[in-house]
A = this chain, B = another copy of it.
Amino acid sequence: MPDELEGRSKNDLATTAAELYYLQDWKMEDIGKKLNLSRSSVSRLLETARNRGIVEFRINRPSDRSNNLAEQLKSKYSISANVIEVFENSTADERLEIVGAETAKKLGNFFRPGITIGLAWGSTISSVSRHMHNYRVANSTVVQLNGAGNDHSTGISYSGEILNQFGQSLGANVVHFPVPAFFDDPAAKQVMWKERSTKRILDIQSRIDLAIFGLGRIDSEVPSQVYQAGYLGKSDLDDLNAEQVVGDIATVFFRSDGSWRDIGLNNRSSGPGLDQLKRTPKRVCVASGIAKIEALRGAIAGGYITDLFIDDLTAEKLLENSN
Q: Which residues of A contact B (CB under 8 A)?
A: 9, 11-12, 15, 18-19, 22-23, 51-62, 67, 71, 82, 102, 105-106, 108-109
Query: Which residues does chain B contribute within 8 Å of A19, judged by CB atoms?
Result: 59
Does B15 lie within 8 Å of A57, measured CB to CB?
no
Query: Which residues does chain B contribute within 8 Å of A56, judged by CB atoms?
Result: 57-60
A274 to B82, CA, bound (A): 60
Least CB distance, A222 to chain B, in whole angstroms: 30
Would A9 and B67 be within 8 Å (CB), given that A18-B59, A59-B18, A62-B15 are in contact? yes
Does A102 lie within 8 Å of B53, measured CB to CB?
yes
Does B53 lie within 8 Å of A105, measured CB to CB?
yes
A18 to B61, CA, bound (A): 10
Does B55 lie within 8 Å of A57, measured CB to CB?
yes
Does A60 lie within 8 Å of B67, measured CB to CB?
no
Does A60 lie within 8 Å of B54, measured CB to CB?
yes
Chain B, residue nearest A68 (CB): B9
Would A23 and B59 be within 8 Å (CB), given that A11-B67, A67-B11 are in contact? yes
A62 to B11, CA, bound (A): 7
Query: Which residues does chain B contribute within 8 Å of A62, judged by CB atoms?
Result: 11, 15, 52, 54
Query: Which residues does chain B contribute within 8 Å of A61, judged by CB atoms?
Result: 15, 54
Query: Which residues does chain B contribute within 8 Å of A58, judged by CB atoms?
Result: 55-58
Would A59 and B55 be within 8 Å (CB), given that A9-B67, A67-B9, A67-B11 are in contact? yes
Given contacts A15-B59, A15-B62, A54-B59, 8 further A-B contacts (CB under 8 A): A9-B71, A23-B57, A52-B62, A53-B60, A54-B60, A55-B58, A56-B57, A57-B57
